[in-house]
Amino acid sequence: MKTRNIAGQIMGQLEAFEGSKAAMDTTPLLIVRGKSRKKIQPEELGPTISQIMKNLGAKELDMFSDETADIITIMDEQIRSQVDIQGETDIYGIYRLKESFENMNCHADYGMGLLDDIAIFIVLWKDKSGIGPLFVELVVSSMET
């Protein structure tokens, strides 16, 4: 239930709670997608993620650290326990995420945080045209074994 509480707080801060949907909801892992009503400029995506982590009291992690790679591996295992995914775990795929969004003509940013034993991964993206909403994808995962 702690994952749901944290996800609710984050989606609330982003004004993305209404209409949001769980893409995966298991005991250790919750993935939520939504649209934010906030008008956030592209250069503010990263700082917005940092502020959310700060508001939660979460430690913001370096996306290129060994600790983050280990957390991404755990999240991947949690997802693979529920969904049949072909191929090996590719922790570097997450690092290519921003480039993929930019290739689709979107501004994007992401961040990872740790709040006690809960890992938080936030992705924000929006069309470069400025038209349309700010999209949110959130992964909240229990690191307890």
pLDDT tens for residues 107-128? 999 999 999 999 999 999 999 9
pLDDT score recorded for residue 91: 65
Residue 52: domain span: 2-142
95 near 108, Cβ under 8 Å?
A: no
56 near 115, Cβ under 8 Å?
A: yes
Q: pLDDT for 70-106, tens place per residue?
A: 998 888 888 888 877 766 666 667 778 888 888 999 9
Domains in the chain: how many in total? Answer: 1
Average pLDDT on 5-14 reads: 96
Cα dihedral 91, 92, 93, 96 sign: positive
Average pLDDT on 2-10 reads: 94
Q: pLDDT for 34-79, tens place per residue?
A: 999 999 999 999 999 999 999 999 999 999 899 998 998 888 888 8
Question: What is the DSSP track for 9-56?
Answer: HHHHHTT--TT-EEEEE-SSEEEEEEEE-S---GGGHHHHHHHHHHHH
pLDDT score recorded for residue 96: 80
pLDDT score recorded for residue 81: 82
pLDDT score recorded for residue 102: 87
